[in-house]
């Protein structure tokens, strides 16, 4: 097949699923498809602007190929290396490579599910950035794909690899403030802006159709991308699906919520009065959990409990503790710092070492051992679900009742219709 010959997604998945048992990457696969302890795992990187560049810098010796729909991003990324790397605009071409063992996905959120599922079908282990998915149905399909193809999948919520998060988890699980019954989260508000009249012809360096992929079709506007997709409800979903995924990630890990979810969600916000971006301002969400009995409240901007743009206050029967941040920056309050010192535990990252480096290295170690990573895809799906459910309750303009076991709304046909999205053209799950 020539590089320019079209390949449908369905045909690609069928081809990959059949071909994988015969694939052996160069020098990386040992016995029974498991890497040897000292073998190099060759990674392909899909989406190399912003966070994707950080991943390249974290595991440079593993990088074997680059893919981005923006040729400027791809060329800039390739210039970081003193060796030639194959460059692709269509991720399916990268997945066809027999010399690529695993992929790192840092594309816009609306692409995460399809790319991860296709990578699993192609026999690649996957590191996919947070939030894991855009819809509940996408997330469940991702979990099923990882199981079906027996792939190691890590979600890029690096907070779990921050030493302060481990200290905070131990501090709370040992009952230092009693049973946690309420968590109050604060975050700066969604921005208002974007120019609806700025529709234009896409720049020559950007494959706009491929950037959209499964998202609803629309005319190119520079205020949609690259970073600005975050402020569209149907693309990025606002601050709650961005940083909220980090804050909820810590809450889920610390309070053992990785295999469950809330039973009741209420949300409110204001529709922006101007601009292109449509994520609500003054956004507030309340989640009620039955097991354990817990309330989580998210507010933009909310009440800042500390001098930081986002964070959370954990309330227990005997007191409270404040944590600033939640992503690669986790700063506990003084009582947790003292607890760390008393238990001889580190509570800060080594200077110059980003938390996502630990996240990636844990993933590579798990590829070798075939063990489950710290932020596996089921955990990532559950965390993303909290973010998604908030936006669904806001769109419905009413409280919703959720069954975390069936992952359906209780007796609510209108709400259940919003659990998935139709995709676009060939880009459907």
Residue that the structure tokens 């001098």 belong to: 307
pLDDT score of 29 = 38
Residue that the structure tokens 């994988």 belong to: 20
Report whether pLDDT(19) > 70: no
pLDDT score of 24 = 31
Query: Is 9-157 a CATH 3.40.50.720 domain?
Result: yes
For residue range 371-385, what is the model confidence (pLDDT) as tens digits? 999 999 999 999 999
pLDDT score of 26 = 34
232-259: average pLDDT: 97
For residue range 337-368, what is the model confidence (pLDDT) as tens digits? 999 999 999 999 988 888 888 899 999 999 99
H or E, element range at 172: helix 163-173
Q: How far from 429 is each of 90, 112, 290, 406, CA to CA, in Å?
A: 17, 11, 32, 19
Sheet holding 294-299, edge to edge: 330-332, 319-325, 310-316, 180-187, 294-299, 281-289, 264-270, 400-403, 408-409
pLDDT score of 301 = 96
Q: How far from 101 is each of 9, 370, 398, CA to CA, in Å?
A: 20, 13, 46
48-54: average pLDDT: 93
102-114: average pLDDT: 98
Are the C-beta atoms of 328 and 355 separated by less than 8 Å?
yes
For residue range 184-195, what is the model confidence (pLDDT) as tens digits? 999 999 999 999
Return the structure tokens found at 214: 């499964």
Report whether pLDDT(37) > 60: no
Enumerate the CATH 3.30.360.10 domain ranges in the chain, comma separated: 160-195+205-350+377-416
Q: Which residues of 96-129 are buried (b: 16+ CB within 10 A; e: fewer)?
A: bbeebbbbbbbbbbbbbbbbbbbbbbbbbbbbbb
First to last CA, the chain: 24
- Please tell me the distance from the alpha carbon of residue 383 to that of residue 136, in angstroms, as a whole number: 11
Q: How far from 76 is each of 82, 162, 222, CA to CA, in Å?
A: 12, 29, 20
pLDDT score of 9 = 56
Report whether pLDDT(70) > 60: yes
Assign 230 a pLDDT band (cuts: 50, 70, 90).
Answer: very high
Are the C-beta atoms of 139 and 267 separated by less than 8 Å?
no
231-246: average pLDDT: 97
Question: Which of 244, 104, 125 lies closest to 187 in space, CA to CA?
Answer: 244
Three-state DSSP class for residue 263:
coil
- pTM across the whole model: 0.92
Backbone phi and psi for residue 263, each to the nearest 5 degrees, phi listed first: -105, -15
- Please tell me the distance from the alpha carbon of residue 338 to that of residue 290, in angstroms, as a whole number: 32
For residue range 139-176, what is the model confidence (pLDDT) as tens digits? 999 999 999 999 999 999 989 999 999 999 999 999 99
Enumerate the CATH 3.40.50.720 domain ranges in the chain, comma separated: 9-157
Residues 6+ apart with CB under 8 A from 407: 136, 140, 261, 385, 419
| Strand pairing class (87-88; 102-105) | unpaired
| Strand pairing class (330-332; 400-403) | unpaired
234-252: average pLDDT: 97
What is the average pLDDT value for the chain, to the nearest integer? Answer: 92
Report whether pLDDT(418) > 70: yes
Tell the CATH topology of 160-195+205-350+377-416. Dihydrodipicolinate Reductase; domain 2 (3.30.360)
């Amino acid at each position: 097949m020539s590089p320019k010959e079209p390949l449908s997604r369905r045909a690609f998945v069928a081809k990959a699923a059949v071909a994988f048992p015969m694939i052996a990457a160069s020098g990386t696969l040992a016995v029974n498809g498991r890497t040897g302890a000292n073998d190099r795992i060759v990674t392909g990187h899909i989406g190399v602007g912003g966070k994707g560049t950080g991943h390249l810098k974290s595991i440079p010796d593993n990088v074997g190929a680059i893919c981005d729909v923006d040729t400027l991003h791809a060329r800039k990324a390739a210039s970081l290396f003193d060796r030639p790397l194959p460059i692709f605009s269509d991720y399916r071409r990268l997945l066809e490579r027999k010399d690529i063992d695993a992929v790192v996905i840092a594309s816009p959120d609306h692409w995460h599910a399809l790319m991860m599922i296709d990578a699993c079908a192609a026999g690649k282990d996957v590191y996919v950035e947070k939030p894991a998915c855009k819809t509940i149905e996408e997330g469940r399909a991702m979990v099923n794909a990882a199981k079906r193809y027996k792939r190691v999948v890590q979600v890029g919520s690096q907070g779990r690899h921050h030493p302060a998060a481990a200290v905070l988890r131990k501090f709370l699980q040992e009952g230092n403030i009693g049973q946690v019954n309420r968590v109050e989260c604060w975050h700066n508000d969604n921005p208002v802006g974007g120019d609806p009249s700025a529709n234009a012809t896409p720049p020559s360096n950007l494959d706009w159709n491929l950037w959209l992929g499964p998202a609803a079709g629309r005319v190119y506007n520079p205020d949609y991308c690259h970073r600005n997709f975050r402020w569209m409800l149907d693309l990025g979903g606002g601050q709650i699906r961005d940083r909220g995924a980090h804050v909820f990630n810590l809450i889920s890990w610390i309070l053992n919520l990785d295999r469950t979810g809330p039973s009741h969600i209420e949300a409110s916000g204001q529709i922006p009065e101007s601009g292109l971006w449509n994520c609500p301002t003054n956004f507030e969400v309340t989640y009620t959990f039955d097991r354990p009995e817990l309330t989580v409240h998210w507010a933009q901007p909310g009440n800042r409990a500390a001098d930081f743009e986002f964070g959370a206050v954990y309330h227990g029967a005997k007191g409270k503790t404040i944590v600033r941040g939640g992503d690669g920056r986790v700063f506990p309050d003084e009582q947790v710092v003292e607890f760390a010192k008393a238990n001889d535990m580190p509570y800060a990252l080594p200077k110059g070492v980003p938390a996502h480096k630990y996240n990636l290295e844990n993933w590579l170690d798990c590829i070798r051992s075939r063990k489950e990573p710290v932020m596996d895809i089921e955990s990532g799906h559950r965390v993303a679900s909290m973010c998604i459910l908030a936006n669904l309750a806001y769109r419905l303009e009413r409280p919703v009742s959720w069954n975390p076991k069936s992952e359906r709304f209780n007796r609510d046909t209108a709400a259940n219709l919003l659990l998935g999205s139709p995709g676009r053209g060939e880009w459907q799950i």
